[in-house]
Amino acid sequence: MLYTVVIPCYKSSRTIRKVVEETMEQFEKMKAGELEFVLVDDCSPDDGATVRALRGLVQDYDNVRVVELAKNAGQHNATMAGLNYASGDFIISMDDDGQTSPTQLPKLLAEIKKGYDIVYGYYPHKQHSKFRNWGSRFNQWTTRVLLDKPKNMKTSSFWIIRRFVRDYAVQYRSAYTHLQGVFLRVTRNISCIPVEHFRRQEGQSGYTFRKLVQLWSNIIGFSIVPLRMATVLGNIFAAVGLVGIIAVIVRKLVRPVTAIGWPSIMVSIFFFSGLILMFMGLIGEYIGRIFLGLCNNPQYVVRQIDEQGKRPYLVNEDGQQFELKKGVDWRKERET
């Protein structure tokens, strides 16, 4: 039995080695099976410190593969990159900062052996800031509403999936990835168990308010509920407007001298104009993403892959590997 641990890395030069080595020690204790790592550098802006740390792990361990991305793709897209290079019977996702401790892995493995396709570890007590915790709760609520996620299903970046889930998930090629949405398209045989959330060992979260909003907005690519909400609200306001028109006509017939309420008219115009523009923007977002999809906007771009005993290489569309040689334009080599 082979387990693949996928870890997206972002400015984690000081923490990733400890996470990898503690995970190896935990698997030695569990005697669960063979283990490999796919570490994805999400173009960390730290002058190459994270890449050097990852390459150091490749030199020290023959079960570590490093995927270097050419530009920052975000945690979910970086995880998708890792899934594309995972070869295990089970794939595990962990964080690079030690907050998802390897000591909690036995709980995930025991739960998935009960026959589930996906098992999430969730945190009853999170070691995040209040703002981040609020964002997580809002994200959980919106995914339940928009993706029809089961009410008792709690999620995080700490999970284990079966191989067939990975095989279907990697077929999703859009640049707007939301892993919960991808997984819910594959299966509903999902469980979640409470795990301990540890404090960050170094630095601070790479998630800013803008990145959290961007991640949340990716949910709309997996649901047409917002469009249906627009239709329902449009019908409601149209009905209210019809009733209002009838009321105005009746009142005018009963009291012909009634003054026209300009303030109320202006408020109504501003309100409904704002509503129309909001839903036009929503529709534009859907159309824009369709357009970018047709333009083949990449989900991620791999600079090179590093493994022990191999020269840096890339993998083409047919799954064939080719080395990156110094002084050779790899784009021309790929064409040949």
Q: Is the pLDDT of residue 172 over 70?
A: yes
DSSP 3-state assignment of 152? Answer: coil
Return d(Cα 95, Cα 12) in angstroms, integer: 10
Whether pLDDT at 249 is above 80: no
Its pTM surpasses 0.95: no
pLDDT over 70 at 336, yes or no: no
Adjacency order of strands within the sheet including 90-93: 190-194, 118-122, 159-162, 90-93, 2-9, 34-41, 64-69, 302-307, 313-315, 321-323
Query: How far, in Å, are 1, 49, 79, 86 from residue 52 at the CA level?
Result: 30, 5, 20, 21
Q: Is the pLDDT of residue 291 over 60?
A: yes
Identify the weakest region by mean pLDDT among 54-68, 176-190, 210-224, 275-289: 210-224
Q: How far apart are the first and last CA of the chain?
A: 37
pLDDT tens digits, one per residue of 27-40: 999 988 999 999 99
**Is the pLDDT score of 131 beyond 60?**
no
Q: Which residue has the tokens 């824009």?
A: 288
Say what the pLDDT of residue 210 is.
65
Retrieve residue 155's tokens.
């999620």
Read off the pLDDT band of 270 (50, 70, 90): low
pLDDT digits (tens, 9 = 90+) for 192-217: 999 987 776 665 555 565 666 666 66
To the nearest 10 degrees (0 to 180), the angle between helices 130-146 and 225-254 is 80
Q: Are 9 and 42 in contact (CB under 8 A)?
A: yes
Better pLDDT: 86 or 204: 86
| Most confidently modeled range among 83-97, 130-144, 307-321 | 83-97
Local confidence band at 264 (pLDDT 50, 70, 90 cut-offs): low
**pLDDT of res. 91:** 98
Lowest mean pLDDT among 130-139, 278-287, 302-311: 130-139
Domain 2-222 has CATH 3.40.50.620: no
Angle, CA 58 vertex, CA 37 and CA 2 arms, to 5°: 25
What pLDDT score was predicted for residue 100?
87
Q: Which amino acid is at 75?
A: Q
152 contacts 194 by C-beta, under 8 angstroms: no
Residue 94 pLDDT level (bands cut at 50, 70, 90) = very high
pLDDT for 130 beyond 90: no
At 154, the pLDDT band (50, 70, 90 cuts) reads: confident
Per-residue pLDDT at 162 exceeds 90: yes
CB-based burial label for 187 (10 Å; 0-12, 13-18, 19+): middle
Residue 128: pLDDT over 60: no
- Position 256 pLDDT exceeds 80: no
CA 61 – CA 48 distance, rounded (Å): 20
